[in-house]
Amino acid sequence: MNKLTLALVSIITPFFFYAQQTRIENSSTSYNGKLRDAIHIVVEPSSKDVAKAWKSYVADKLGQKLKGGNDDQKAEAVNIPQLSDQMVNLYSKVEDNSPSGTSMYVFLGKGDDAFFSPTNDSAIFNKLNAVVKDFLRSYLPNYYNGMIETSSKTIAGIQKTLSSVTKSVDKNTSTIQKNEEKIKKMEDANAKLKSELDEDAKNKAAQEKALKEQTDLLNGQKSRYEATKSVLMN
């Protein structure tokens, strides 16, 4: 797989999951023992990350500070012109539904245990839906771009390491091949030397035999000479 293919995979894969997992719909959730109409979203990021991003969005875009933990957040008796000219209570519940993703419910209260509904308050409920969609448009692209950037850096690091390892493999393979060629030459040279050594050993044995025979012959000649000389001197 080349670099271009890897880059395309790293970009396409997150958005495939985005298309598969992200969902926004009218739904309901339990609050104070009753079901409340809510905007329900399902997204891929963790519940902690979603809750943090939603809290930041509400502060930046709606001008309100949500109170509570990551699971349940609220801003009560607040003025949010983007939603209503009345004072409202903004609630959100974030749930970890791994591995299918994170669910978040956003709903509005009027006070005195009364809540907005799509049936009786369609205009405000549509505005709430638009606000949640705007949150997703501002949040998810940054989330996936961060994932893509991280994956791209990881891929670049792997490719760099792979290139270095490949060069090392090629170098070592070449060295081994050269060494094998040297070994072959040395084995051939050793075989030739062994053949010459065998010939030299045979020649040495022949020369030693010839030397003994000549020495014996010389000693015999000297002995006969001394005997002859002794006879002639008497």
3-state secondary structure of 69: coil
Nearest CA among 31, 56, 52, 32 for reference residue 43? 52
Query: Residue 201 has what pLDDT?
Result: 84
**Cβ atoms < 10 Å from Cβ of 55:** 20
Measured between alpha carbons, how far is 37 from 115 in angstroms, rounded to an integer? 8
| pLDDT, tens only, 96-114 | 987 778 999 999 999 888 9
Query: Residue 21 has what pLDDT?
Result: 67
Query: Residue 210 has what pLDDT?
Result: 85
Do 94 and 26 meet the contact criterion of CB atoms below 8 Å apart? no
Measured between alpha carbons, how far is 234 from 219 in angstroms, rounded to an integer? 23
Query: Residue 147 has what pLDDT?
Result: 84
3-state secondary structure of 201: helix
Complete domains list, the chain, with CATH: 3-151 (3.30.310)
Query: Residue 46 has what pLDDT?
Result: 93
Measured between alpha carbons, how far is 165 from 142 in angstroms, rounded to an integer? 34
Measured between alpha carbons, how far is 154 from 148 in angstroms, rounded to an integer? 10
Measured between alpha carbons, how far is 228 from 78 in angstroms, rounded to an integer? 150
Query: Residue 73 has what pLDDT?
Result: 96
Mean pLDDT for back-to-back runs of 10 residues, the chain (234 residues) = 41 44 91 95 94 96 93 95 95 88 95 92 96 96 89 89 89 91 90 86 87 85 79 80
Query: Residue 51 has what pLDDT?
Result: 96
